[in-house]
Amino acid sequence: MKFPFLFNLKSVVILSLIMSFSFNSFSQDSTNDFWSHVRFGGGLGLSFGDGFFSGTIAPSAIYQFNSDFALGLGLNGTYNSLKNTYNSTIFGASVISLYNPIPEIQLSGEFEELNVNRKFENNQFENQNYWYPALFLGVGYRSNNVTLGIRYDVLYDRDKSIYADPWAPFVRVFF
């Protein structure tokens, strides 16, 4: 089942600004109270092999409304290359919601919008530049500020996704 294009980068930026102003309105005491509810995290990735290199940086921040619910934003930047074959750059943003029905279980929903730019050498394939949306639903086991779990991309498209499979394990850490 194909879903229409849901968001573009302009929509993500506008949504981010609206959420930023909304978060400020929840803070009743002062700006310092707002920042006491913000938690930072993210991911770093590095992979290399025979002629292959991949590097990712993905910072994120969430606003912890209470012990059960958090909402946040993330950025993603990735570079891949395979010697004499291709290189790709991937940039994007995401919106994530976290819900803990009990302290040890964390349910998550994350919408990610990525711009994928692939350049092939030797004209093996046509170069590609497109936007790819992903909507992940996940569940994990939480202990303090670390969550270990699995997520599923309900919008997965085998031909365009940067991920090999719609199922992906994750480790999530927020400080």
The 10 Å Cβ neighbour count of residue 141 is 11
Residue 2 lies in a domain: no
Whether residue 140 is contained in a domain is answered as yes
- Give the chain's mean pLDDT: 87
Mean pLDDT computed over 70-92: 95
Token reading at 169: 């394990």
Give the range among 5-14, 105-114, 144-153, 158-167 with minimum mean pLDDT.
Answer: 5-14
Domain interval for residue 49: 9-173
Per the domain annotation, does 33 fall within a domain? yes
Task: Answer yes or no: is 3 within a domain.
Answer: no
Domain count, the chain: 1
Task: Please report, to the nearest 10 degrees, the dihedral formed by the alpha carbons of residues 159, 162, 108, 112 taken in order.
Answer: -90
The rounded distance, in Å, linking the Cα atoms of 90 and 77 is: 6
* CA neighbor of 77 nearest in space, from 52, 45, 48: 45
SS (H, E, C) 128-170: EEEEEEEEEEEEEEEECCEEEEEEEECCCCCCCCCCCCCEEEE
Q: How far is CA 119 from CA 69, 80, 114, in A?
A: 41, 10, 16
In a domain, 112, yes or no: yes
Domain assignment present for 4: no
Judge whether 29 lies within some domain: yes
Whichever domain contains 38, its CATH number is 2.40.160
Residue 7 has pLDDT above 70, yes or no: no
- Residues 158 and 160: their CA atoms lie apart, in Å, by 6
Q: State how far the Cα of 77 lies from the Cα of 61, in Å rounded to an integer.
A: 16
According to the model, what pLDDT value does residue 20 have? Answer: 52
| Dist. CA 81–CA 50, nearest whole Å | 11
* Residue-wise pLDDT tens digits, 123-144: 778 999 999 999 999 999 999 9
Give domain status of residue 149, yes or no. yes
Lowest mean pLDDT among 14-18, 64-68, 72-76, 93-97: 14-18
C-alpha to C-alpha distances, 100 to 37, 104, 129, 130, nearest whole angstrom:
16, 7, 37, 35
